[in-house]
């Protein structure tokens, strides 16, 4: 994985954002009923949005519009839409931070289906429409911390991964879950590149209890609108207490497994990128410190560096998953 010092493409906080309306709406809600709600409980339905989800297929517009807000991320300031959608890692479209924004636009994401197999009673393939039928969508504002030591706050729209996994009735032999991204070199220029070091398709994995954890979601939207291709449309994993590379994009395959699956970055450099990849300021990457991070967007006069928190600040919710484990060994 690459790491760079500040480049001209790094967004500045002074960027004008089309999301000001969205933020005003959230402020309005935060001042009202939403404040009274607990973090785990969906709150009131969002107001009808000022802009319909014009890019979304028709069947997705209603669930996006009816997404419920939650207390996750209250008090956090989401990065501007332009930052979240123009500073990305999606190596299927190139290694530059703006390559996904520039080259993913024509990827076809509708229709889309996900095949679920392995250690479960009811393997099968579902279209995204099937997956979302009857599924309440929630807004979750999460911090995303990349292993490259930058981070941002992102308002996702999604649903608990556990809701989907349970439908396939995992067996007791299912100890891990593997995830696979679309493999389509015709649409994904990075997969055609002779310089790529990744063994496509991009693949990731979680332990079963991590996959079933209530913080783990599948996202289909961002800032109240359909997920842009560069952010992993139409369906991407979000695991907020782990380094961003675990949050695999454009998922087409899920496999319940009885043993730990191989994962893309671990395959490339096992001493640098572990399977667990929990955000941890005390365990440095062999080539750089993980004690601090650049919170994007950068300030006008500096890089906006902040201290990194254990489990990206979600320790109260997830530390118990790793009780008794040596986090230096299981990095
Ligand atoms: N998923 C796929 N399929 N391909 C990728 O290159 N990059 C990962 C992750 N998911 C990646 C991926 C990395 S390194 C990060 S930091 C996050 O996506 C970035 O998510 P974002 O671009 O939405 O901020």
Low-confidence ranges of the chain (pLDDT < 50): 3-18, 21, 24-25, 27-53
Distance between Cα 168 and ligand 1 center (Å): 26
Distance between Cα 250 and ligand 1 center (Å): 10
Cβ 279 under 6 angstroms from ligand 1:
no
Listed residue (16, 111, 29, 57) closest to 221, CA to CA: 57
CB 65 within 8 A of CB 49: yes
Residue 231 pairs with which residues in a beta bridge?
A: none
In ligand 1, which atom is closest to the CA atom of 100? 22
Distance between Cα 144 and ligand 1 center (Å): 10
Listed residue (230, 246, 18, 233) closest to 142, CA to CA: 246
Cβ 85 under 6 angstroms from ligand 1:
no
- For residue 270, give every residue at least 6 positions away whose Cβ sits within 8 Å of its Cβ, in sequence order, or none: none
Distance between Cα 44 and ligand 1 center (Å): 31
Q: How far apart are the C-alpha atoms of 289 and 279, rounded to whole Å?
A: 12
Distance between Cα 286 and ligand 1 center (Å): 21
In ligand 1, which atom is closest to the CA atom of 250? 3
Residue 13 has what pLDDT? 44
Parallel, antiparallel, or unpaired for β 203-207 and 138-145?
unpaired
Listed residue (270, 273, 305, 313) closest to 147, CA to CA: 273
Ligand 1, atom 6: nearest CA belongs to which residue? 90
Tokens 């107001």 belong to 47
CB 155 within 8 A of CB 223: yes
Cβ 83 under 6 angstroms from ligand 1:
no
Cβ 104 under 6 angstroms from ligand 1:
no
Coil, strand or helix: which one is 321? helix
In ligand 1, which atom is closest to the CA atom of 148? 16
What domains are defined for the chain?
Answer: 10-46 (no CATH), 50-322 (3.90.420.10)
Q: How far apart are the C-alpha atoms of 155 and 148, rounded to whole Å?
A: 21
Distance between Cα 230 and ligand 1 center (Å): 9
In ligand 1, which atom is closest to the CA atom of 152? 24
Distance between Cα 93 and ligand 1 center (Å): 11
């Amino acid at each position: 994985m690459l790491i760079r010092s500040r480049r001209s493409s790094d967004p500045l906080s002074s960027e004008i954002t089309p999301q000001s309306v969205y933020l005003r709406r959230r402020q309005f809600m935060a001042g009202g009923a939403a404040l009274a709600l607990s973090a785990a409980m969906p709150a009131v339905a969002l107001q009808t949005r000022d802009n319909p989800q014009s890019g979304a297929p028709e069947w997705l517009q209603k669930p996006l519009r009816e997404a419920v807000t939650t207390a996750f991320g209250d008090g956090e300031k989401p990065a501007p839409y332009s930052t979240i959608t123009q500073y990305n890692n999606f190596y299927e479209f190139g290694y530059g931070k703006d390559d996904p924004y520039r080259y993913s636009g024509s990827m076809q994401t509708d229709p889309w289906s996900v095949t679920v197999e392995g250690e479960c009673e009811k393997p099968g393939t579902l279209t995204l429409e099937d997956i979302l039928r009857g599924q309440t969508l929630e807004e979750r504002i999460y911090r995303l911390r990349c292993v490259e030591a930058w981070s941002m706050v992102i308002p996702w729209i999604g649903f608990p991964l556990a809701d989907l996994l349970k439908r396939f009735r995992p067996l007791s032999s299912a100890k891990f879950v593997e995830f696979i991204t679309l493999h389509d070199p015709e649409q994904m220029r990075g997969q055609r590149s002779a310089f790529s070091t990744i063994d496509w398709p991009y693949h990731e994995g979680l332990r079963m209890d991590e996959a079933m954890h209530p913080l783990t979601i599948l996202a289909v939207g961002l800032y109240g609108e359909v997920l842009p291709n560069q952010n992993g449309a139409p369906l991407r994993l979000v695991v907020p207490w782990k380094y961003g590379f675990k949050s695999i994009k454009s998922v087409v395959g899920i496999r319940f497994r009885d043993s730990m699956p191989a994962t893309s970055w671990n395959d490339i450099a096992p001493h640098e990128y572990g399977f667990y990849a929990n955000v941890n300021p005390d365990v440095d990457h062999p080539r750089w410190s993980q004690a601090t991070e650049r919170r994007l967007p950068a300030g006008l006069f500096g890089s906006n560096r902040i201290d990194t928190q254990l489990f990206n600040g979600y320790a109260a919710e997830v530390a118990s998953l790793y009780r008794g484990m040596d986090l230096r060994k299981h990095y």
